[in-house]
Structure 1
Amino acid sequence: MSYELIALIMFAGMVLLMLTGQRVFAMIGVVAAASALALYGNAAIELPFNAVFKLFSWYALLTLPLFVYMGHMMAKSGIAEDLYQMMHVWCGRLPGGLAMGTIFLMVIISAINGLSVAGLAIGSAIALPEMLRRGYDKLLITGVVQGGSTLGILLPPSVVMVLFAVIARQPVSDLWLGGVFPGLMMAAIFALYVYVRVKFNPKLAPKLSEEELAIPLREKILLLRAGIAPIIIFLLMIGLFVTGYTNLLESSAVGATSATVAAVCKGRLSLKLLIETARETMSVTAMFMWIVLAALAFSSVFDGIGAVRAIENIFIHNWELSPWAVIILMQVSFILMGMFLDDTAMLVIVAPLYIPLVQRLDLGIDHQMVWFGILYTMTCQIAYMTPPFGYNLFLMRGMAPKEITLIDIYRSIVPFVLIMALCIVLIMIFPQIATWLPGYFRG
């Protein structure tokens, strides 16, 4: 049996097992273990042993539990709810002001969280009921919450980017910096879309009453205090890291400590809150560790049989595709896989294939792997929102008010998915949007 056929069987077997709905890391690990035993016999016993030590030697993974803890602490301590009240008052006079304020809220939450789930939970629990009560169109606001929540994996400190950096052996700082402008650009286009649509159809977002708008300026300024804690946490964490005063692990510890201090200052820290936050932190961290371990084992076997070189020969030499055609095919495959798999499973599948191949492509782009990491993250955002198995679709169905149906959720995401696709095209045409900031800080 040729190595190309072995690689194809491994890849197809892993995809089929994942479609069973079982644990991702278990399905990947089963394929890796079975392939290793079939190819190498008893020598394959060393494979998981070596993968464990490689996993524990990756310094960036130490930051993962701290970032997850920080995000859950900020969400559960009610700081996000205060932020929404601030946005509600300051954006109320704009057409679709509450929807635009929700997008800005998602940007702030993303800057202190790094996960999509927290933003979606906050938007569903706080923003959706409030906007429905005020007569906002349910399709518009459902799309806003879902689209805005995906910014959590694009803006720093994105946990997805940490995982990509570990597997692709790229500096996490470069990926974080690379996601800043694309994330802000996407948020701005979301807000512009809401503004223009409401401007042409005011019925989608009724104006606030005069009583609500007639808030004294002094009270408005006092409400700005809700944004102080998140801004301080973000500046402390990212600012100290980018300027070189702290390393990545120290910055994550600064963020986690600052979030806890903020909860104390607001009088919301309790033993129950700490226990819930710790439990969820351990759950998410353990899941990521098992997935990375399984991915290492799989990629060791996959690369050992020369599968990456075989894929390169097929794309470049046999099919005679240009480097840009290869990148476009990769992006299409991301979107297709994202209809059935979550972002972590996608990365595990494509890492052994795509990352070495992208490193060999001559695209003429500075910080090429950082640029590709941003493209991957942006396609993950689309994957989160595309049926039939988009991760955010089912989370939204479980958390949204009863009057919002699954069909409403599916219909609401169409314009936001199109906006995301437009942003991906812009990043491909103008890669400097993602690469200028990392290049600037590297001198």
Structure 2
Amino acid sequence: MSYEMIAITMFATMLVMLLTGQRVFAAIGAVAAGAALLLYGTGSMEMPFNAAFQLFNWYPLLTLPLFIYMGYIMSETGIADDLYRMFHVWFGRIRGGLAIGTIGLMVVISAMNGLSVAGMAIGATIALPELLKRNYDKRMVTGVIQAGSSLGILVPPSVVLVLYGMIARQPVSQLWLAGAIPGLMMAAMFIIYIAVRCRLQPHLAPILPKEELDIPLREKLKLLRAGITPFLIFFFMTGLFVLGYTSLVESSAVGATAATIAAITRRRLTFRILHETVKKTLGISCMFLWIILAALAFGSIFDGIGASRAIETLFITNWELSPLEVLIMMQLSYIVLGMFLDDTAMLVIVAPLYVPLIVSLGYNPIWYGVLYTITCQIAYMTPPFGYNLFLMRSMAPPEVSLWDIYRSIVPFVLVMTLALILVIAFPEIALWLPEQVSR
């Protein structure tokens, strides 16, 4: 069997196992182990051990549990609730103000956690009932929450970019800096869309009743002080890193410590909350560690049989595609895979193939990490099996149907596609901040 057929067989076998509902790390690891034994014999048993030591020597991975812990502490202790109440009061007089405030909430939750699931959970349980109760259009607000929560995998500290950095062997600090401006740009584009649409169609977002907004200035300032805590934690954490006072790992420790202190000073940190937070943090961190281990083993097999060179030959020599056309083909493949798989599975499947090809085409792998992440955001919201669509359906109230959810994401997917085109056309959007900090 040729090496090309071996690569295709491995790829197809892994897809079949994933589609049967197997855990991601088990499907990927099993295919890697089986292929290694068949190709290299019993000597290949050392490969998992080599992958494990490579993983344990990767110091930035310490940021993963610290940032996840920080996000859960702030959500479990109600600090995120305070933030939404602040948005409710301060943006309620603007047409569509609560929807705009929800995008702001999603940005901050993203900056606290780095996972889209956390933003989706908080948005669906806190923001969605409040918006529906105030007669906001159900299709628009479900789209707002899905689009806003997708920022969690782009705005630092993005866990997806940590995984990309590990698999692509790129510095996580540079990837996070590269994701910051595109993430904020996309949030601004969402806000502009909401403001314009609510101005053109006022019935979608009625202004809140006067009695809900006419509260004393003292109460408003009190809410502002309570809601601004997440902003202060985030800017304190990232400010120290950008200014060079702390390393990446030290910044994550600063964020986790600051979140814990904020919860203690507000007398909201109980033993039960701490226990649940640590339990959830450990569960998610271990899941990602297993996935990375499986990805490293799978990637080493692919590298060994020359699959990346075969893909390069197919795209450039046989199909005679230009570098830009190859790039577009890659992004389209992510969208197709995203209809069936989550971002982690997509990354593990195609990164070992695409990253060497990107480098050989002369593209910056840091910039490509941002493109990959934006495309994952679009794939998350692409019917029929977009990951975020079913998360929203499982958490939304009964009056929000799956058809409502499908229709709600159309304008936001178009906005995200425009953002992707802008980052492709102007790589400086992603690369300017890493270049400035590295000087």
TM-score norm. by structure 1 comes to 0.97
Superimposed CA distance per residue, residues 320-379 of structure 1 (whole angstroms, 9 cap, x where no aligned partner): 21111111100000111111000000000011100111111124xxxx111100001111
Deviation at 1:121, TM superposition (A): 1.0
Partner of 2:66: 66
What CA distance in whole angstroms lies between the structure 2 residues aligned with 1:113 and 1:238?
Answer: 13
Partner of 2:128: 128
Q: Which amino acid aligns with 1:273?
A: I
Matched, 1:214 2:210: no
Deviation at 1:24, TM superposition (A): 0.7
Superimposed CA distance per residue, residues 149-175 of structure 1 (whole angstroms, 9 cap, x where no aligned partner): 111111111111111111111111111
Matched, 1:110 2:110: yes
Q: Specify which of 416, 421, 424 is matched with residue 420 of structure 1.
A: 416
Indicate if the aligned counterparts of 1:7 and 1:302 stay in contact, CA closer than 8 A.
Answer: yes
Q: Which amino acid aligns with 1:32?
A: A
Matched, 1:381 2:373: no
Deviation at 1:204, TM superposition (A): 0.7
Partner of 2:15: 15
What CA distance in whole angstroms lies between the structure 2 residues aligned with 1:156 and 1:396?
Answer: 23
RMSD of the alignment, in Å?
Answer: 1.1
Superimposed CA distance per residue, residues 135-155 of structure 1 (whole angstroms, 9 cap, x where no aligned partner): 111001010011111111111
Residues 1-40 of structure 1: matches in 2 within 5 Å?
Answer: 1-40=1-40
Q: Once structures 1 and 2 are overlaid, which stretch shifts more, 235-244 or 368-377? A: 235-244
What CA distance in whole angstroms lies between the structure 2 residues aligned with 1:124 and 1:7?
Answer: 41
What CA distance in whole angstroms lies between the structure 1 residues aligned with 2:233 and 2:140?
Answer: 31
Instruction: Return 5+ residue gaps in structure 1 as ranges.
Output: none
Superimposed CA distance per residue, residues 398-443 of structure 1 (whole angstroms, 9 cap, x where no aligned partner): 2112211222111111111111111101111111111111111111
Partner of 2:49: 49
Partner of 2:355: 355
Deviation at 1:47, TM superposition (A): 1.2
What CA distance in whole angstroms lies between the structure 2 residues aligned with 1:265 and 1:403?
Answer: 39
Superimposed CA distance per residue, residues 30-87 of structure 1 (whole angstroms, 9 cap, x where no aligned partner): 1111111111111111111111111111111111111111111111110011000100
Q: Once structures 1 and 2 are overlaid, which stretch shifts more, 419-428 or 313-322? A: 313-322
Partner of 1:403: 399
Instruction: Return 5+ residue gaps in structure 2 as ranges.
Output: none
Indicate if the aligned counterparts of 1:71 and 1:115 stay in contact, CA closer than 8 A.
Answer: no
Residues 180-195 of structure 1: matches in 2 within 5 Å?
Answer: 180-195=180-195
Indicate if the aligned counterparts of 2:32 and 2:298 stay in contact, CA closer than 8 A.
Answer: yes
Residues 145-224 of structure 1: matches in 2 within 5 Å?
Answer: 145-224=145-224
Q: Once structures 1 and 2 are overlaid, which stretch shifts more, 404-413 or 207-216? A: 207-216
Matched, 1:84 2:80: no
- Helix, strand or coil for the counterpart of 1:73? helix
Partner of 2:430: 434
What CA distance in whole angstroms lies between the structure 2 residues aligned with 1:410 and 1:272?
Answer: 38
What CA distance in whole angstroms lies between the structure 2 residues aligned with 1:265 and 1:243?
Answer: 27
Q: Figure out how many residues of one structure are paired with residues of the other and give that number.
A: 439
Indicate if the aligned counterparts of 2:189 and 2:415 stay in contact, CA closer than 8 A.
Answer: yes
Indicate if the aligned counterparts of 1:173 and 1:242 stay in contact, CA closer than 8 A.
Answer: no
Q: Which amino acid aligns with 1:434?
A: A
Partner of 1:93: 93
Indicate if the aligned counterparts of 1:151 and 1:183 stay in contact, CA closer than 8 A.
Answer: yes
What CA distance in whole angstroms lies between the structure 1 residues aligned with 2:109 and 2:247?
Answer: 23
What CA distance in whole angstroms lies between the structure 1 residues aligned with 2:269 and 2:313?
Answer: 57
Q: Which amino acid aligns with 1:151?
A: L
Partner of 1:344: 344
What CA distance in whole angstroms lies between the structure 2 residues aligned with 1:180 and 1:263?
Answer: 26
- Helix, strand or coil for the counterpart of 2:384? coil
Deviation at 1:396, TM superposition (A): 1.3
Partner of 1:262: 262
Q: Once structures 1 and 2 are overlaid, which stretch shifts more, 228-237 or 429-438? A: 228-237
Q: Which amino acid aligns with 2:140?
A: L
Q: Once structures 1 and 2 are overlaid, which stretch shifts more, 396-405 or 133-142? A: 396-405
What CA distance in whole angstroms lies between the structure 2 residues aligned with 1:57 and 1:260?
Answer: 28
What CA distance in whole angstroms lies between the structure 1 residues aligned with 2:311 and 2:67?
Answer: 36
Percent sequence identity is 66
Indicate if the aligned counterparts of 1:61 and 1:162 stay in contact, CA closer than 8 A.
Answer: yes
Indicate if the aligned counterparts of 2:83 and 2:228 stay in contact, CA closer than 8 A.
Answer: no
Deviation at 1:226, TM superposition (A): 2.0
TM-score norm. by structure 2 comes to 0.98
Deviation at 1:227, TM superposition (A): 3.1
- Helix, strand or coil for the counterpart of 1:311? helix
Q: Which amino acid aligns with 2:327?
A: I
Q: Once structures 1 and 2 are overlaid, which stretch shifts more, 212-221 or 384-393? A: 212-221
Matched, 1:308 2:302: no
Partner of 1:275: 275
Indicate if the aligned counterparts of 2:85 and 2:227 stay in contact, CA closer than 8 A.
Answer: no
- Helix, strand or coil for the counterpart of 2:33? helix
Partner of 2:367: 371
What CA distance in whole angstroms lies between the structure 2 residues aligned with 1:327 and 1:206?
Answer: 43
